[in-house]
Structure 1
Amino acid sequence: MKTAFKATIAAVAMMAVSETSLQAQELRLSHQWSDNDVRHKVAQIVADEVATADVGLEIRIFPTQSLFKAREQYTPLSRGQLDMTVLPLSYAGGLQPAYNLTLMPGLVKNHDHAARLNESPFMEAIEEKMAEDDVMVLVHGYLAGGFAGKETCITSPDDMAGLQTRAAGRAFEQMLAGAGASIASMASSEIYNAMQTGVLDAANTSSSSFVSYRIYEQVSCYTPAGDYALWFMYQPLLINKSTFDGLTEEQQQALLDGAAKAEEFYLEEAKKEDAASREVFAQAGVEIAEMSEEDFNAWRALAQETSYKAFIEDTPGGQELLDLALSVE
């Protein structure tokens, strides 16, 4: 009887071990947006592809800053307290000044140019900086933006003189101030009221923010991202490198396969967001302006004297990094 009892106990123990081994390893992914946002959808594609691969890995997504605040995600990611995040990399520019180049006026012309930057020595140099913090990229992605004017169209630096404007990021504030604008710093969610009350004459933000905050109700002219645009913000899906290295080969491959699918989706959806914003503003009766190559080059020349100059002064090795970015055609 004792032998039979021991055999039963052993069998139960083996079943418990077997069930434990079948439980999927969970990775926690944090981001700041709602589940309708393109960046959440990028994360969901990776999570779904990993689940379909059935490799004992599960990605649990925490949207809307429910796990970490928007600007507080990079440090826990680098420390292994968070496994994955979708994050505007410039949020961590205070920790790694090189990251400020990923929200710099005139470095990216359009989405296809952004895709080439993602495969360039410039991005390799940025990823080397990430590796220093035990972080690696799974999905590359840029989102674009434009300008809106309450009473005037904005396509070139000459159009900014004397305007009170909101800019998306410190480098843009430096450049627009160089064009003669007065800067009012505020969140994109505050643009509508600021225009309504006369605090702002113009604004610069992302295509999606222009639509979601209904800025088309307050402006007469909109310059969307098109063949040329100034505002591009790098917002990748990142993973803690030690976490990735600790996965099995099958789990790593499932992540990489999901990331490849998500990256293709990200690029196409980013283009669609720009086109959708153009359509929304046009339907609202807002004039649509276009930025020409000549306009873009004038902005870049101004950026050289303002934003780029400040970046080089503030960043060790900044000139080399900037040259790498500018060398991508």
Structure 2
Amino acid sequence: MNKKALSLVVAAGLAFSASLASAETVLRASHQFPGGKGDVRDEMVQLIAEEVKKADVGLTVQVYPGQSLFKAKEQWAAMTQGRLDMTALPLDYASGRHPEFSATLMPGLVRNHERAQRLNDSEFMGMIKKVINDAGVRVLADAWLAGGFASDVRCITSPDTVEGQTMRAAGPAFDEMLAEAGASIASMPSSEIYTAMQTGVLDGANTSSGSFVSYRIYEQVTCLTAPGENALWFMYEPILISERSWDRLTPEQQEALTDAGQKAEEFFAGEAAQLDQKMADVFRENGVEVISMSADDYQAWLKIAKESSYKSFAEKVPNGQALIDAALAVE
């Protein structure tokens, strides 16, 4: 074969490779959590990317952790506008646009991991997912994370222990409850808690067990109130995909992504309770006192929540009371 013929063969091969590469559909997945450091939400998204790659259906999921593509509270709008394909999102971050989402971070509504699993298939979650779907987004994997309180002032147990403290709570329902108990409120995503505590903007915070560890909050506090048997704080943090992105996929790609989402959900279900124990262990190892709420503490908080955030949610949010009733109906 002469040099000219060889050049033509090589060029044809390169063109064919380029056409294959261009045929590959790429989805961008953004989230706020640290990548490669054992955060379960990043691991769920990475698992989906790996499973989709193994399915070999011409689909790639590129993961952008740590707010490297969108800031934490910009992701929902980006999803609904089709500027972002996938995200792992604490859903209550979007409650400013959809106030119904505050029901997914309502004090005392979940209480334990077993009940969280039952909620996934309930009328309550059907109502929440209708709001998600109507906004042009769909759920690929459910995830409820338990959380607790941490402070560098005093241990948080009964409601009076937050009085005078500046707290971060993640969403409007917890904000109202804490304010009713005498705390000052500073709102921010969990990715900003560390710096806010370091600079004295915060005295304490609520967040998930996963975020308490991955954001190294143990370096800034003296006491942790772990979820234990009376977890006041539970937050819905699903893996989501934009409907615009979903509609661009072939049926085979949609099936691969659905299967991958199911595997990610099953992975999370096996990890959920362990996150709480890991948090307690890591905080103790770093010299932080670790306690949990008593049943009486829990009931005292719930009483305040029902008089403040529950009441406000029922009055101000369309279908608010129906959402609360549907959640409480789950045994």
Structure 1 residues 83 and 167, CA gap change in structure 2 (3 angstroms) = closer
Structure 1 residues 295 and 19, CA gap change in structure 2 (3 angstroms) = same
Counterpart contact for 1:192–1:218, Cα < 8 Å? yes
Cα distance, 1:90 vs structure 2: 1.2
Who is 1:5 aligned against? none
Who is 1:77 aligned against? 79
| Distance in 2 between residues matched to 1:27 and 1:102, nearest whole Å | 27
Who is 1:130 aligned against? 132
Counterpart contact for 2:40–2:210, Cα < 8 Å? no
**2:30 partner letter:** S
| Distance in 2 between residues matched to 1:183 and 1:22, nearest whole Å | 49
Who is 1:269 aligned against? 271
Counterpart contact for 1:191–1:203, Cα < 8 Å? no
Aligned length: 315
Q: Where do 1:100-115 residues align within 5 Å?
A: 100-115=102-117
145, 148, 153: which is aligned to 1:146? 148
Check if 1:28 corresponds to 2:28: yes
Structure 1 residues 122 and 183, CA gap change in structure 2 (3 angstroms) = same
Counterpart contact for 2:53–2:59, Cα < 8 Å? yes
Highest CA radius of gyration, 1 or 2? 1
Q: Where do 1:227-266 residues align within 5 Å?
A: 227-266=229-268
Who is 2:3 aligned against? none
Counterpart contact for 1:146–1:207, Cα < 8 Å? yes
RMSD: 2.8
What does the per-residue CA deviation read over 1:57-116, in whole Å, with 9 as the maximum and x for residues that have no partner? 221222222322221121221232322111111121111111111122111202222121
Structure 1 residues 177 and 263, CA gap change in structure 2 (3 angstroms) = same
**1:235 partner letter:** E
| Distance in 2 between residues matched to 1:320 and 1:113, nearest whole Å | 19
Gapped runs of 5+ residues in structure 1?
1-7
| Distance in 1 between residues matched to 2:152 and 2:133, nearest whole Å | 44
Who is 1:190 aligned against? 195
Gapped runs of 5+ residues in structure 2?
1-7
| Distance in 1 between residues matched to 2:288 and 2:76, nearest whole Å | 38
Counterpart contact for 2:34–2:214, Cα < 8 Å? no
TM-score with structure 2 setting the length? 0.85
| Distance in 2 between residues matched to 1:105 and 1:93, nearest whole Å | 15
Matched residue SS, 1:289: strand
Q: Where do 1:170-189 residues align within 5 Å?
A: 170-185=172-187, 187-189=192-194
**2:328 partner letter:** L
Matched residue SS, 1:101: helix
Structure 1 residues 200 and 75, CA gap change in structure 2 (3 angstroms) = closer
Q: Where do 1:273-288 residues align within 5 Å?
A: 273-288=275-290
Counterpart contact for 2:194–2:220, Cα < 8 Å? no
**2:52 partner letter:** V
Matched residue SS, 2:129: helix
Cα distance, 1:237 vs structure 2: 0.7
State the identity %: 51
Cα distance, 1:267 vs structure 2: 2.6
Who is 2:329 aligned against? 327
| Distance in 2 between residues matched to 1:40 and 1:219, nearest whole Å | 25
| Distance in 2 between residues matched to 1:305 and 1:191, nearest whole Å | 29
